[in-house]
Amino acid sequence: MSTVQGRIRPPRVARTWSRTAAIGLPVLSLLVVIALWWAATIVFGIRTFFLPAPPDIVKSFLTLPNYLMEQAWVTLAETLMGFGLATVGGMLVAVLLSASTVVQRATMPLLVAVNSIPKLALAPLLLLWLGFGQFPRVVMVVLISFFPIVVAGMAGLTSTPAEFNELARSLSASKWQHFVKFRFPWAIPQIFVGLKVAVSLALVGAVVAEFQGTGQGLGYVIVASGTSADTPLAFAAISLLGAVSIALFYLVVAVERRLLPWAKETTG
């Protein structure tokens, strides 16, 4: 029989262009937004106290660069620790709960309900229960990022296509083989959906925990600069937070792309 042709990839030039555009266009629109903002502060004569212009923010950052970077590091460390713990714990819980249909049916609605409770409201209580320091802040990060991971993990682990289950049965695959070779790999794209939600929430959790006047982290910097009416400093801290948040999100996306070259094609 004749050999069959595979799908043809787009030519190299087109791919390079689309890659450049994928990074270049968002950067360009960011620059445009910053330029408009700057122009607005000048045209409408907005006072720095009310809304600082971009150069004021840069100046504010440059007066305390080491301090701000240290505080950013504090926040990042809490976020990563809490997110890591939430990922490991969330996956374990998802695996355990999805092991049996009965357990899953009994717990899934509860999880969704608990997931919808605003965990941020617990921040003052955590301070009361766990005291000052890093621990209550990491706990807050875990609390806020744990449930999206559990819910996504369970959704992924329980949505194995019937044909794969049938295939596994026809090969007499053991429960362990079924999990390792079929269910878990199938769940990974959905787990990443949860991880992407969770990583952004994790940073929010860290910042809100720092709002409790714990003296450390970018959250504290924002609260402190508010009380001293140092708006440019608040904006510098917020910009740093934004940068950290974007970096964390794209870190997860990068890991996802690396691990799952197939997922983009099959799950969209």
Partner 1 sequence: MIRVDNVSQTFIGRRGAAVEALRNINLQVAEGEFVAAVGRSGCGKSTLLRLIAGLIAPTSGQVSIAGVPVHKPLREVGMMFQSPALLPWRSVLDNVLLPVEIFGWHRANHRQHAHELLDMVGLKDFGKKLPHELSGGMQQRVALCRALIARPRVLLMDEPFSALDALTRAELAVELQRIHMELRATIVFVTHSVQEAVLLADRVAVMTARPGRVREIVSVDIPRPRSFGLNAHMDEVAICTARLHDLLLSNETEPESIPIGRHWAA
To 10 degrees, the CA torsion angle through 31, 36, 40, 46? Answer: -20
From 159, 166, 247, 251, residue interacting with partner 1 (rule: CB under 8 A): 166
The C-alpha atoms of residue 265 and residue 257 are separated, in whole angstroms, by 11
The C-alpha atoms of residue 196 and residue 200 are separated, in whole angstroms, by 7
Examine residue 2 and tell whether it contacts partner 1 (CB under 8 A).
yes
Binding-site size, partner 1 (CB under 8 A): 28
Cβ atoms within 10 Å of 139's Cβ, excluding its own: 20
| Contact mark string toward partner 1, 124..163, x via CB under 8 A | -------------------------------------x-x
CB-nearer residue toward partner 1: 66 or 172? 172
Examine residue 193 and tell whether it contacts partner 1 (CB under 8 A).
no
Span 170-189, contacts to partner 1 by CB under 8 A:
170-173, 177, 181-182, 185, 188
Examine residue 261 and tell whether it contacts partner 1 (CB under 8 A).
yes
Q: How far is the CB of 106 from partner 1 (least distance, A)?
A: 23
Examine residue 255 and tell whether it contacts partner 1 (CB under 8 A).
no
CB-nearer residue toward partner 1: 182 or 249? 182
CB-nearer residue toward partner 1: 119 or 183? 183
Q: How far is the CB of 182 from partner 1 (least distance, A)?
A: 7
Phi, psi (degrees; rounded to nearest 5) at 45: 60, 40
3-class DSSP state of 212: coil
Identity of residue 117 = I
Examine residue 167 and tell whether it contacts partner 1 (CB under 8 A).
yes
Phi, psi (degrees; rounded to nearest 5) at 46: -75, 135
The C-alpha atoms of residue 182 and residue 175 are separated, in whole angstroms, by 10
The C-alpha atoms of residue 100 and residue 118 are separated, in whole angstroms, by 29
The C-alpha atoms of residue 118 and residue 49 are separated, in whole angstroms, by 32
| Contact set with partner 1 (CB under 8 A) | 1-4, 6-7, 161, 163-164, 166-173, 177, 181-182, 185, 188, 260-263, 265-266
